[in-house]
Structures are given as structure tokens and as C-alpha cells.
Structure 1
Amino acid sequence: MKDLFVYLRQLLKTLPSIAWIDLDKGQLNNYEVRPSIDFPAVLLKLEYPSTTKLSGKQQQCNVILTASIVFDFMDDTSSITPDDILEQSLKVFDIADEVHKKLQGAMDVTVIRTPLDRASVRDPNRADKIKVLQYVYTTKTIE
């Protein structure tokens, strides 16, 4: 997991639009306090839902990566919003697209066995003014 996180962190550090990259440690779980991260941020969660034994000491691991792209605001997007404000509000999608383009198809054979492949995108509702877009990717690794 360490090598995969380091690889993903290095990929995302090349994006000037992203101010913070970290493991998802529940930074967004407390709605009462502003998270101690810089925005826009990408929080990475790595999960191995299943593995296949290859040898006595090696397993092929199916990996689920959730990249939560976090913004500290999203202005108006209603039908009465002026176009210039709407364009500014929708920049969250431009930044999310930059992150996706960096991750989709990414592969380094020293770390992962198959290219990262987007499986889904979620847009959870939140009670605070933080906007989160969760991009879920799959890949395989050997450990």
C-alpha cells in the first residue's frame, strides 16, 4: 500500500490546481470544524477487497482507490445565476477532470499490474459548505 500511495501522490503533485494530497484519515468527518487541509485537496483511500494467492509469499490484490476531490466552496449554480459566477462555481468540475485525466490509465509496472480504471463517480451531499467529488478507480497490484 505504501508504494501505491507514494506513486499516486507523485502523480497528483504535478497538478498545480491541487493544494493538498493526503491519505483519507477522516479529515472531513467533523462537520463542526473546518478541516485542517488546504483546498482544493485530494484525499486518497486505498482498499484491497480481495486477493488471489500467486505463491507462498505473493498475492495479486484487487485494489479500490477512492480519490475524494475536496473544495471549500461552491457558489450559486441556479438558473438565475449570472454566467460569470456560474463559470467560477463550475471550476470544481474542471479541477476534478484534471485529476481524473491524471489518474485514468496511469500505470507503473513496479507498483501496479493494470492501469487505473475509473469505476464510478459519487457526489455526496454534505451539511457544510464543502464540496466533495469521489472518483473510484480499480487496479491490481502484487504484494
Structure 2
Amino acid sequence: MDGEILTVIMDRLEESVPELQWIGIDEGQLNSPERPAVAFPCCLADMAYVQCDDYKEALQRVRGQITLRVAFKRLGSTNTAAPRAVRSRSMGDYSTLQAIHKALQWWDGNGMFGKLRRLSVRPERRSDLRVFVMVYETMFAD
């Protein structure tokens, strides 16, 4: 696995999405029964090689997927009976997700890998935190 790719992606998020308070490798922090050792909102990254094909001697063409788990503390209600200011603050999570997307979509790590493209964004159903899983794909030689 190529830790350099994750490093440049995390650096890009740190530079481009200042609202993120913690960016690191996903080591299961959000699955701990105790309070996770992160600051919120946080972005936890991981990478998988989903397809590897022989390319040249001693090289493979790799299709990699970057998975980002973006977690927020619950700030208040989003229902229509809540005051507009409370709803607006609670819906701010979506602005952070959009900022992450703008930072990564079609970005190529300054030529380190093929352009990232978003595959999916889905919420995790949890009662303690709001967590979204964002998946991006890229190609590179390894």
C-alpha cells in the first residue's frame, strides 16, 4: 500500500478544508465504546487496492479506492420545528462534505496519481455521531 498517496490527500484536506479539526488514518477510532480520541469534525482516511493488473515489468496498474469517514458531533435538531438558527448550524455538516469534495474531485496529487473521482457518499446510521463515508477512486502504477 502506498502511504504517500494517503499523506498527500490528508495534506490537501488540511490545506483546503480548515473546518476539519482532525485528519488521520482510520484505525477504528469511531468504533471505540469510549469517546473517540479525535477532535470534531474529523476525517479518517483509508485506502484499498481494488484491482491490480500487470502493466510493465515489475509494475502493476492499480485501481485504488480512498475511503474517508467524516464524523461530526450532533449539534442540534434538523427538523422543521427547530429554530432556523439551530437547523442551519446542524445542516452545516453538508457544507464541510462539499468542501472536501471540491478539494479532491479531479485532483491528481500534483501528478502522483490519476485524477480522483467520487464514487459515493453515504451516511452511517448512528445515534452518537453523524458519520458520512465518502469513497473516491484513482489509478496509478505500483
TM-score when normalising by structure 2: 0.93
How many residues align? The count is 140
Unaligned runs of 5+ in 1: none
Preserved CA contact (<8 Å) 1:74 1:131: no
Among the aligned pairs, what percent are the same residue? Answer: 26
Preserved CA contact (<8 Å) 2:9 2:109: no
Task: Find the aligned partners of 2:110 and 2:50 in 1 and give their Cα distance.
Answer: 21
Bigger strand fraction = 2
Task: Find the aligned partners of 2:97 and 2:57 in 1 and give their Cα distance.
Answer: 41
Preserved CA contact (<8 Å) 1:3 1:111: no
Runs of 4+ in 1 over 3 A off after TM superposition: none
RMSD: 1.2
Write the mapping of 1:1-143 to structure 2, written as runs, cut at 5 A. Answer: 1-14=2-15, 15-30=17-32, 32-108=33-109, 110-112=111-113, 114-128=114-128, 130-143=129-142
The DSSP-based 3-state class of the residue aligned with 1:78 is coil
Q: By how many angstroms is 1:141 displaced?
A: 1.4
What is the identity, as a one-letter code, of the residue corresponding to 2:45? L
Task: Find the aligned partners of 2:127 and 2:118 in 1 and give their Cα distance.
Answer: 27
Instruction: Assess, with a 3 A threshold, how the Cα gap between structure 1 residues 74 and 133 changes in structure 2: closer, same or farther.
Output: farther
Preserved CA contact (<8 Å) 1:107 1:115: yes
Bigger helix fraction = 2
Unaligned runs of 5+ in 2: none
The DSSP-based 3-state class of the residue aligned with 2:30 is coil
Q: By how many angstroms is 1:67 displaced?
A: 1.1
Instruction: Assess, with a 3 A threshold, how the Cα gap between structure 1 residues 53 and 23 changes in structure 2: closer, same or farther.
Output: same
